[in-house]
A and B are shown apart, each in its own frame.
Chain A
Amino acid sequence: MISDRQRLYRGVSCAAWAYFFLYFDLSFNGISVLPNFVCYLLLWQAISFLEGEERDLALLRPLCLLLGVWVGADWLFTIFGEALDGRLPVVDLLISAAAIYFHFQLFTDFAHLAARYQSEGMELDRRLLRLRTVQTVLLTASSLLGGWLPSGIQLFFPGNALAEEAVSVLLVALALAGLVVSLRLMFGLFALRKCFLPSEDKA
């Protein structure tokens, strides 16, 4: 039997490592050795550990399954030299919407956990909520720009620069900002994990 605190520690550990798999990619011959679907397996595990403490987490199971299956299928396609991305634009759209909600709600729940277990004056919950909000805005902007503007909408900016060039620059900027926010979120989860360490381990 593991204690409640140990369960919370394990749950948050799973989530922190899950985001490591999501944000970092290492490929050999075009095949990812840190595949994204591992992220969703770990998040599924994290939800199992944490749903007793944070009831809303259970609502995320169907989305976790959907996102995990999708990125898993994409990984399998990559192994066979194909790409799933862009083949089924309707499913891509559904996945985009699901992913935005999923990560938003997940970090909201982690922030609630942080609010309950952080040391006094730590304000980890506020940091997580702030980063979650920025991440959601960045994800939304990326989906809007990356997915839909280049698909035929003609916008011309002063100087006749092609819209797609401007969009590409914006996407790179969003990706960079997203990377910074994602890393901070991941470190935030590792910081949250420390809140559940027994006091002698913390020392």
Chain B
Amino acid sequence: MTDLWSFLLQTLTAAGAAAFLLVLKSLFRDKLSPRWQFGIWGLLALVLLYPAGRGGRYVLFNWPLWLETLKTALTRDYDLIRVTAPIPLPAPLSGPQTPLDVLYFLYVAGVVVLLAWYALAYLRLRLALRRGSPADDAQLRRVAAQYELPVCRVVEVEGLPTAFVCGVFRPVLALPAGQPVDDKVLLHELLHLKYHDAAWGLLICLFRCLHWCNPLLWYCADRAGNDAEALCDQRVLERLEGEDRRDYGRILLSMASDKYARAVGTSSMANGGRNVRARIEAIARFKRYPAGMALASVSVALVLLFPLTLGWGQTLAKANGLGHSGELEFHTAMASARLTPCTTAAGAFDAYGKAVIHDNGIYRALCAPLSEHPALAAQMEGFAHGPDPWVHEHWESGLPGRADHTVGYFLYNLTQADGGYAAVMVWPLQMAYVDGPDAPPVYWSEEDRAYAAWQSLWAERQGDRWVVLPQGEFHLTETEGDGLVWGDDALPSAAIYAADVDGLRLELTYQTVHSVSYTFGEKPKVNARFDAAGESFDFTGSETHPGAADLVNRYAAAPVYADGSGPALEFGSGQGSSSDGTFWGNVRDYGGLLASGGSGFGDDPNDPPVWPDHYRMVLTYVDGREEQMVELRPMEGGKRA
């Protein structure tokens, strides 16, 4: 915790979990054993120890979203609230700059003061115990031997109301001087010793200090302390029989009117009248806990484990139809976009693709670096409050046309490098701004072809989120084919493989297309995986020496990968291609050196894309020459566009 917001996130997250546990405990108060009643606080301890809001996740209540929204509304700060550790970390040395910094400073000062107060109280207690006289431990050793429990140093101290164990590492059992102590009281204290209850008390005390201004957590700390005592009672009763059990109840009853001053690092049988009464009620229920409840207890705890520790992932809040003046909705949507990281590169590309299609700045914020959020928000607010009041999520990507909402987008030539992904995103257009946005849009080209826009993108991981960084402007192009799912000559290629042989220029244009399933109107899928990937090629052989092509009889080609692997060359019948990337043809029967084809790409569309290193091609001739083997190598630069 480094500022007031991170403290608020941590303490409110814990308070939500605490409130839930209190409701649950009241539901199971007379149904599950003291072991469960105390053990279930372990879940709250995990919530308190785990930094809240990691990856936008939230525990039961969406505090990260509410606090992010509030922070932005109050301070116009678009950075994420981050809890780096569940303890307060030093504030900047320059001192408090804002009222919020002052409040955080007060909080940290409170933690330090309370820790010091507890430490002093503990030191005073240890000094008092030092002044005590060593007690005869024969009775203690007898009780410990009878119940096979560990022992510790025993001292007698004047004026103590009851026995207690003090200390975690070198525990001391303090007994009231000059008063007989019942075996059952010693048994109770020895059980505290065995189960290290003083250490649990110390941990609870630490949480009190860290959340000193959260009354609900203080109440829970009290309840946890009392549950520890009730559990110890349960353990005592499990070791006693018949009349001894009733005696134990009477001893507790005798403490019911005692006042109890809580001391850190100690465990005592007496813990205040009201608490003792609750423990006596628990003892009355002792026989009623049905046998074999361990499974139900563990099952209930397991069902709660993930939601209370890992929490739930964010889903994008309302990001459409935010209106013109709904500041709160806008801040909530932006906060939601900050908190909903794209967990995959495919998810980030999907968010960007849909941001462009829908002119939606909230979608763009999903996949934009956090550092760009203030500018993005300013742009959207400018549109919302400008002369042409747009809806609050309106964003202008610069797309030279209107994207075809029914088709979506395609991701061409995806490749992995330096921990990120480069790709070309392609949007089929319903209409294109061929002569700029102010000129009338064009639906079809003069050749009756459809238009598409493309842009080079780079996706990389920044912290726990994938972001997309545009690598240049949009480009407008007339598409060659009917669909773009199997590649298009008019769009950039992944690579062009080429060779010159016997008066021929051989060129193979290679493209890959990845896609995430697209449904009209669907929100971005931040955890998306690629649903499909395909590769396609277009091969042409042109003459650099007139008549050279006429001498070729048949040809066959196969891709070769960097590790030397690849399918075997084969002459299939006629002209064709195979799903492994090989293709073949008969020049004389099929009108020249022309081939094209496509197939699925790789075993899994989410595998890192691997393009061929080169193509091997064999040519046979009609003039009796021996067949020629050539390698088509990537052209310098690798891309035609």
Which residues of A does B touch, CB under 8 Å?
55-56, 59, 62-63, 66, 89-90, 93-94, 96-98, 100-101, 104-105, 108-109, 129, 133, 136-137, 139-140, 143-144, 147-149, 151-154, 159-160, 162
Apart from A55-B288, A101-B31, what are 11 other A-B pairs with CB-CB below 8 Å? Answer: A98-B27, A104-B295, A129-B292, A133-B295, A137-B299, A140-B302, A148-B307, A152-B312, A152-B527, A153-B306, A154-B343
Q: Which of B20, B24, B55, B295 has the most CB of A within 10 A?
A: B295
Cβ B343 vs Cβ A93 within 8 A: no
Cβ A159 vs Cβ B604 within 8 A: yes
A94 to B136, CA, bound (A): 52
Sample of 9 A–B contacts (CB below 8 Å): A59-B30, A59-B31, A89-B307, A94-B23, A97-B303, A101-B32, A105-B290, A147-B307, A152-B313
A196 to B544, CA, bound (A): 101
Interface check B482, CB cutoff 8 A:
no
Interface check B607, CB cutoff 8 A:
yes
Q: Could you tell me the distance in whole angstroms from the C-beta of B199 to the nearest C-beta in chain A?
A: 28
Q: Could you tell me the distance in whole angstroms from the C-beta of B177 to the nearest C-beta in chain A?
A: 45
Cβ B31 vs Cβ A105 within 8 A: yes
Cβ A94 vs Cβ B296 within 8 A: no
B604: A residues at CB distance < 8 A = 159-160
A152: B residues at CB distance < 8 A = 55, 57, 312-314, 343, 527
Cβ B295 vs Cβ A136 within 8 A: yes
**Given A133-B295, A160-B607, is A144 in contact with B303 using a C-beta cutoff of 8 Å?**
yes
A147 to B306, CA, bound (A): 10
Q: Could you tell me the distance in whole angstroms from the C-beta of A81 to the nearest C-beta in chain B?
A: 20
Cβ B310 vs Cβ A153 within 8 A: yes
B55: A residues at CB distance < 8 A = 152
Interface check B213, CB cutoff 8 A:
no
**Given A56-B288, A152-B57, is A97 in contact with B529 using a C-beta cutoff of 8 Å?**
no
A136 to B57, CA, bound (A): 28
Cβ A94 vs Cβ B24 within 8 A: yes
A153 to B307, CA, bound (A): 11
**Given A56-B288, A90-B60, A152-B527, is A140 in contact with B304 using a C-beta cutoff of 8 Å?**
no
Interface check B397, CB cutoff 8 A:
no
A159 to B606, CA, bound (A): 10
A59 to B604, CA, bound (A): 54
B295: A residues at CB distance < 8 A = 104, 133, 136-137
Closest to A152 in B: B313
B606: A residues at CB distance < 8 A = 160
Cβ A104 vs Cβ B296 within 8 A: yes
A93 to B300, CA, bound (A): 10
Interface check B61, CB cutoff 8 A:
yes
Cβ A90 vs Cβ B20 within 8 A: yes
Interface string of B306-342 (1 = CB under 8 A from A): 1100101110000000000000000000000000000
A100: B residues at CB distance < 8 A = 296, 299-300, 303
Q: Could you tell me the distance in whole angstroms from the C-beta of B337 to the nearest C-beta in chain A?
A: 15
A100 to B303, CA, bound (A): 9
A147: B residues at CB distance < 8 A = 303, 307
Q: Could you tell me the distance in whole angstroms from the C-beta of A129 to the nearest C-beta in chain B?
A: 8
Cβ A89 vs Cβ B312 within 8 A: yes
Cβ B61 vs Cβ A90 within 8 A: yes
Closest to A93 in B: B307
What are the 5 closest A-B residue pairs judged by CB atoms, nearest first?
A: A152-B313, A140-B299, A148-B306, A104-B296, A143-B303
Cβ A144 vs Cβ B296 within 8 A: no
**Given A90-B20, A105-B31, A108-B290, is A153 in contact with B313 using a C-beta cutoff of 8 Å?**
yes
Q: Could you tell me the distance in whole angstroms from the C-beta of B435 to the nearest C-beta in chain A?
A: 45
Closest to B299 in A: A140
A129 to B291, CA, bound (A): 12
B312: A residues at CB distance < 8 A = 89, 148, 151-152
Q: Could you tell me the distance in whole angstroms from the C-beta of A141 to the nearest C-beta in chain B?
A: 9
Q: Could you tell me the distance in whole angstroms from the C-beta of B323 to the nearest C-beta in chain A?
A: 24
Q: Could you tell me the distance in whole angstroms from the C-beta of B633 to the nearest C-beta in chain A?
A: 31
Interface check B117, CB cutoff 8 A:
no
Cβ A93 vs Cβ B527 within 8 A: no
Cβ B27 vs Cβ A63 within 8 A: yes
